[in-house]
Copies of this chain bind each other. A is one copy, B any other.
Amino acid sequence: MPKKKVAKRATHKVTLTKRAQPQLNALDKKTLELIDSTAERVQASILRRTLPELKFPVRSLANVKYDTKKGYFELGRGRKARALSVNTVKNFAQTLRLMAISKDMVADGDFATKREAYYVSKNWGDCKFNEQTESDTVMDDIEALAALEGLSREQLRYYPEDHGGSLAGELVVIDRDSETGGEVRIDCTGMGSGAYQIPHSVEHLKFETNAKFILAIETGGMFSRLNAHKFWKNANCILVSMQGVPSRATRRFIRRLADDKKIPVYCFVDCDPYGIGNIYRTLKVGSGNAAHINRFFCVPQAQYLGVTPQDIIDFKLEDATHKLQAVDIKRAKDALKNDPFFKAHKPWIKAINQMLKMGVRAEQQALAKWGLNFVIEEYLPKKLRNRKGFLP
């Protein structure tokens, strides 16, 4: 920047709030160790006058396995080594720089989105990224490397652009005041017709709740209905709006909350191949092409409350359904043929075949056919009385 601005800088410093010293927990220390040890290995081999190399897990589907016991897609043993050479030198430097920034952010209690990380590089001269796809690829490698140590990308302080979903109900979220370091208590029963929005990163959050379960809901409209009628109070639960396929933050939040408090997670989505195969499946076991992070982001304790193909019959929703389109049928058949999760669970094979046989899909809003609040008065109570009936 031109001197003029650098000079001005001082006078504006006021607008950057003094931040509390971040409390480094065990994972943070592990993060710093990973970064230091990686850098030291590189430095050592340079001092030995040998070409340094970095080893990363292979992130292709070929290196993915589904562990039925663990209940999620996991990265295999495949590794690729990247040795320093004329061709790799730029990528090598970029990798180390991104890890260096990560170290600073852990120390400063700051963070960067993947987009910001890309732009930060614009000040790196020759070693800057030309496209974000380049920085994302390097970031994915670092993320996979960290995953081997049980560290997520959020631990490295690189946060996703997309925030978490919204939440309401019987939960107190305990956050940390960035300025004082003190506790911030957010009572999620006190949001009125609005909601608490889950932050980009949830690693530091603590929870207080007596809720009996978490209800993960596909649409914002259904979430608002259950929230407006305080369903969370009578059912003593926590409502989370996933707004389609849940974001990393939403999945991680539900996982941490369900683990900490040992409460079940019930999923309430549309009865179609997308709701089942994309939204629910991503929430529960993660996705194949992100196997290196599923261990953090999947929610193995999730169960499928509905809407099920059988619900369409039991609740007489036939005339509120839509015909399955070619894309739906393809997606459903792919799930039966290729998806290790669905193939591992007979009840799912049965349910998906039933849907294909019926040839229709039904949205959760279809229950409004019997009245706007039929879902609260009849559907959910009836389903919740038979939790053993939930699909795995």
Using CB atoms and an 8 Å cutoff, list the residues of chain A in contact with chain B: 1-2, 5, 8-9, 12-17, 19, 110-113, 115-116, 119-120, 122-123, 128, 159, 161-164, 166, 173, 175-179, 184, 186, 190-201, 204, 219-221, 224-225, 228-231, 233-235, 241, 315-316, 319-320, 363, 365-373, 376-378, 380-382
Contacts and interface: CB of A to CB of B under 8 A. Distances in A.
B111 A228 contact: yes
Given A186-B190, A365-B116, A229 B17 contact: yes
A241 B376 CA distance: 31
Contact of A366 (B16, B119, B230, B378): B119
A306 to B, nearest CB: 15
Nearest to A316: B1
Contact of A191 (B12, B196, B381): B196
B230 A178 contact: yes
Contacts of A5: 378
Contact of A123 (B17, B201, B369, B380): B369
B192 A176 contact: yes
Contacts of A119: 320, 363, 365-369
Contact of A194 (B122, B173, B225): B173
A376 B191 contact: no
Contact of A197 (B110, B197, B373): B197
A115 B221 contact: yes
A286 B4 CA distance: 40
A303 B363 CA distance: 41
Contacts of A233: 17, 179
Interface centre among A116, A159, A177, A219 (most CB of B within 10 A): A116
A391 to B, nearest CB: 22
B192 A377 contact: no
A358 to B, nearest CB: 17
Contact of A220 (B161, B166, B190): B161
Nearest to A371: B120
B221 A116 contact: yes
A126 B382 CA distance: 30
A14 B234 contact: yes
A377 B5 CA distance: 11
A103 to B, nearest CB: 14
A12 to B, nearest CB: 4
A363 B193 CA distance: 33
16 contacts: A9-B377, A17-B230, A115-B219, A115-B221, A115-B365, A116-B221, A116-B365, A119-B363, A119-B365, A120-B368, A123-B369, A161-B220, A176-B192, A194-B196, A194-B197, A195-B196
Contact of A229 (B19, B122, B164, B196): B19
